[in-house]
Chains A and B, each alone.
Chain A
Amino acid sequence: MKKLVYMDHAATTPVKSEVLDAMLPYFSEQFGNPSSLYALARVSKEAVENARAQVASAIGASPDEIFFTAGGSESDNWAIKGTAFANRKKGDHIITSAIEHHAVLHTCAYLETQGFSVTYLPVDRYGLVSPKDVEEAITDRTILVTVMAANNEIGTVQPIREIGRITRERGVPFHTDAVQAIGAVQIDVTEDAIDMLSLSGHKFYGPKGIGALYVRKGIRLGNLVHGGGQERRRRAGTENIPGIVGLGKAIEMATADIPGHTAKIAAMRDRLCAGILDAVPDTLLNGHPTLRLPNNINVSFRYIEGESILLMLDAHGICASTGSACSSASLEPSHVLLAVGLPHETAHGSLRLTLGDLNADGDVDYVLDVLPKVVERLRSMSPLYAARKGGV
């Protein structure tokens, strides 16, 4: 078989075999609808409640504060729209950051069309939101602050505890998109003063299309999905039992030993990152040098373009991602890379490698062998590189 080196764990992860095993009985054997009254249904109901407890315990919440959704995007939409529409009388102002995932940014943009006003806080060159900026942006019309726990592109980990303290003090609800943070950074909703938190199963070796929203007791939140009375009348729809069971098992495993697990990944990441910066001149590291997800590398190779890097890596069986305009449907370079101040050209040449359980030391060696050659080859075709060489 062709060699496959998967370094795109921030995009998605494979379902762990233990997770799959936990899910399998709930497709065909234990298929009961938890809303029904017979014994078969009770098994499903218990499975859901067991998973709810697993999710709660992973983030320091209590089970009745956890609501299952169809993933990170729905959780973000629910938290933001649900808060906005439930607090219309109180205010119309939302604070977020310029580098949020589109599930947050596009939801905020939608709310702007509905009469809300949104402050998009800038970030510094490392992608950090300043808690002081959050504090200064709060007005008496502010009904929500939403800042992600960790960025999906450059991996920057935000000071959410400080932001949580400020928002709690000012009495403004605080939502955080922790989709990339679960299993990578320790999160405790009580200590971090988080009011709402989004998470998604497929980012930590659980299934796709399942997620959860944590909603602290007492937080006013309108419904997003209307219909039946599931999830204590907060989120309609017959429960995705296998997905929920998988989410519970996956988050339990992902958070069992965060320091131990991340130390292993970070060691590989550090060797790979140092190796790339060493072997390839004119390469910039995007994101923060230390306050970043343990598995994330995001670099810009000057004078070349990201999609062509990906295509050549793919020809060598390496899966990665880029913030280049050419590879996006919108033909816009990554809003995150622009927000940290990269010129279009440099954003164009960005490469994201995100490591995970699928990787071993040999993969690091392999990428360190292939990647510099790919960059060299593309640079040999680049008029910008030729001009640089000629111009010096």
Chain B
Amino acid sequence: MYNETVMDHFMNPRNVGEMTDPDGVGEVGNPVCGDIMKIFLRIRDGRVEDATFMTFGCGAAIASSSMATELIRGKTLEEAWEITNTAVAGALQGLPPQKLHCSVLAEEGIHAAINDYRKKQRLEPWAETARAAHEEEAGGDAE
């Protein structure tokens, strides 16, 4: 069902665990299948110094969390914000079509964590415009 990359990130997830004193935390839930993902960020000089996750969900949800945290480490917040679900799924060498929504969860989790950080810094949260655009690209059919 899943390819080797997905299975590797599922069986040996990177960056799993709760972070003590994170600078930003985002918890998002998937209304479609009920998965829940929590992303923790440590920010230094506008960059993601460390990212970890905790996930309640299927193989795709756990693998997406693992890959997403890998992808944003070392990135600026602007770059991290631009990591799309398509990028996460692509880095995993593809997900089964019915599992693509799990990678959307990863994108949402990153956004939620970044905005949590921005709020704590008394900065205006970024708007979800990027995401709406990706969904249109993908056919725009979110139920």
Residues of A whose CB lies within 8 Å of any CB of B are 303-305, 307-308, 311-312, 315, 324-327, 329, 331, 333, 344-345, 348, 380-386
Interface residue? B87 (CB, 8 A): no
B58: contacting residue among A305, A380, A386, CB under 8 A: A305
| Chain B residues engaging chain A, CB cutoff 8 angstroms | 2, 7, 10-11, 13, 16, 18, 27, 32-38, 54-62, 98, 101
B47 to chain A, nearest CB (A): 25
Q: A331-B98, A333-B34, A383-B36 are in contact. Are A303 and B58 (CB under 8 A)?
A: no
B33–A382 CB distance below 8 A: no
Alpha-carbon separation in the docked complex, A315 to B2 (Å): 13
Across the two chains, which residue of chain B brings its CB closest to A331? B33
Alpha-carbon distance A384/B2, docked complex (angstroms):
25
B62 adjacent to A381 (CB under 8 Å): yes
Q: How far apart are A355's CB and chain B's nearest CB, in angstroms?
A: 24
- A303-B56, A381-B16, A381-B55 are contacts. A308–B34 as well, Cβ < 8 Å? no
Q: Cβ of A348 and Cβ of B10 under 8 Å apart?
A: no
Complex CA–CA separation, A104 to B84 (angstroms): 42
- Contact partner, A307, options B11, B54, B55, B58, Cβ 8 Å: B58
List 12 additional A-B contacts (Cβ < 8 Å) besides A311-B59, A324-B33. A303-B56, A305-B57, A307-B58, A308-B61, A311-B11, A325-B33, A326-B34, A344-B34, A382-B54, A383-B54, A383-B56, A384-B56
Known contacts A303-B56, A326-B57, A381-B54; decide if A308 and B62 are in contact (CB<8 Å): yes
Instruction: Name the residue on A nearest B102 (C-beta).
Output: A326
Q: Given that A305-B58, A308-B62, A386-B18 are known contacts, is A325 also in contact with B10, CB under 8 Å in the complex?
A: no
CB-based nearest B residue for A343 = B34
Q: Name the A residues within 8 Å of B57 (CB-CB).
A: 305, 308, 326
Closest A residue, CB atoms, query B38: A383
- Shortest C-beta distance, B142 to chain A (Å), equals 13
Contact partner of B32 (CB less than 8 A), chosen from A303, A312, A331, is A331
Q: Output the least CB separation between B28 and chain A (Å).
A: 10
Report the separation of the CA atoms of residues A370 and B126 in the bound assembly, to the nearest whole angstrom. 45
Smallest beta-carbon distance A381→chain B, Å: 5
Shortest distance between the CB of A27 and any CB in chain B (Å): 33
Report if A326-B55 is in contact (Cβ < 8 Å); known contacts: A308-B10, A331-B32, A383-B36. no
Say how far A4's CB is from chain B's closest CB, in angstroms: 18
Q: How far is the CA of A311 from the CA of B7 in the complex (A)?
A: 9
Interface of B is mostly: mixed
B98 neighbours in A (Cβ, 8 Å): 329, 331
- What is the CB-to-nearest-CB distance from A212 to chain B, in angstroms, rounded to a whole number? 33
Cα A348 to Cα B59 in complex, Å, equals 13
Q: How far is the CA of A89 from the CA of B38 in the complex (A)?
A: 59
A311 close to B10 (CB less than 8 A): yes
Interface pairs (22), CB distance under 8 Å:
A305-B56, A305-B57, A307-B58, A308-B57, A308-B58, A308-B61, A315-B11, A325-B34, A326-B33, A326-B34, A326-B58, A326-B60, A329-B98, A333-B34, A344-B34, A345-B34, A381-B16, A381-B54, A382-B54, A383-B55, A383-B56, A385-B56
Given contacts A311-B10, A326-B33, contact A386 B54 (CB under 8 A): yes
Contact B27 A383 (CB under 8 A): yes
Q: How far is the CA of A308 from the CA of B56 in the complex (A)?
A: 9
**What's the Cα separation between A359 and B75 when bound, in Å?**
51
Do A324 and B16 touch (CB < 8 A)?
no
Chain B residue at minimal CB-CB distance from A327: B58
Alpha-carbon separation in the docked complex, A386 to B27 (Å) = 13
Q: How far is the CA of A384 from the CA of B61 in the complex (A)?
A: 15
- Tell me whether B13 and A381 are in contact (CB under 8 A): yes
Contact A324-B54, Cβ < 8 Å, known A333-B34, A348-B34, A383-B36? no
Tell me which residues across on chain A come within 8 A of B10, comparing CB atoms. 308, 311
| Closest chain A residue, CB of each to CB of B1 | A311
Which partner residue on chain B sits nearest A315 by CB separation?
B11
Among A325, A329, A383, residue most surrounded by chain B Cβ atoms (within 10 Å) = A383
Q: Nearest residue in A to B62 (C-beta to C-beta)?
A: A308
B34 contact set on A, CB distance < 8 A: 305, 325-326, 333, 344-345, 348
Identify the 4 closest CB pairs spanning chains A and B, nearest first.
A326-B58, A383-B54, A307-B58, A383-B38
Do the beta carbons of B54 and A305 come within 8 Å of each other?
A: no
Q: In whole angstroms, what is the CA distance A324 to B54 when docked? A: 19
Q: Would B18 and A382 count as touching, CB distance under 8 A?
A: no
Instruction: Report the bound CA distance from A345 to B34 in whole Å.
Output: 7
Chain A residues within an 8 Å CB radius of B60 = 326
How long is the Cα–Cα vector from A312 to B62 in the complex, in angstroms? 12
